[in-house]
Amino acid sequence: MRERIKDILLESIQVKEEILRNQVDSIFEIAHLMIDCLKKDGKVIVFGNGGSASDSQHIAAELVGRFKKDRSALAGIALTTNTSILTSLANDYGYDVVFSRQVEALGKKNDVVLGISTSGKAKNVALGIKQAKKMGIKTVALSGGDGGEIVKLADVSLLVPSKITARIQEAHITIAHIICEMIEQELCGEQK
């Protein structure tokens, strides 16, 4: 069991090393999009399924609350939290539209939409990104594996170089934390 623990930790480290080698520019571009959005009084709209739903809520909480420093709230919303909206949309229209309908209702020109899917194949995430693009909203996709459809749809995509869901999710939240730190540093000054 100890050897398997070491293997898992090494897998996670290797994925992050690959991101360090090849994805810094993408992380920078995503952070810049979100910073620009927030400077223009836009909001970051985040969504995904399962663990990616949890990541969506985590990211929104870091923006609205705080990441490292006490500061004014930043506009972030996870489309995964309102059970009445989610269940009524799923019941009345089908689960595929649970994010696109919310983007249609809540999205505005200066916003950024962030769709998260470890496989990139979640139809509801793809439809949410498509709806945002139709409305002229900037889009970001976080994915893994081969990236599926969402990496082709979004304005900026970051593909985690792994096919293991757990390693992809670990990388997604690391990337999100980096972006949150860059946002706070740019909009709220240096951390003391």
Domain definitions of the chain by residue range: 2-188
Residues 163 and 119: their CA atoms lie apart, in Å, by 8
Contact 74, 183 (CB under 8 A): yes
pTM for the structure as a whole: 0.94
Shortest CA distance to 132 belongs to which of 72, 42, 65, 57? 42
Select from 3.30.200.20, 2.60.40.420, 3.40.50.10490, 3.40.50.720 the CATH code of 2-188: 3.40.50.10490
**190 pLDDT band (50/70/90 cuts)?**
low
* Pairing, β 156-160 against β 138-144: parallel
Span 4-61, pLDDT tens digits: 999 999 999 999 999 999 999 999 999 999 999 999 999 999 999 999 999 999 999 9
Contacts with 61 (C-beta within 8 Å, 6 or more apart), sequence order? 76, 78
Which amino acid is present at 181?
E
**What's the token pair of residue 185?**
């540093």
Span 110-140, pLDDT tens digits: 999 999 999 999 999 999 999 999 999 999 9
Beta strands of the chain (E only): which ranges?
44-48, 76-78, 112-116, 138-144, 156-160
Which H or E run contains 25?
helix 24-39
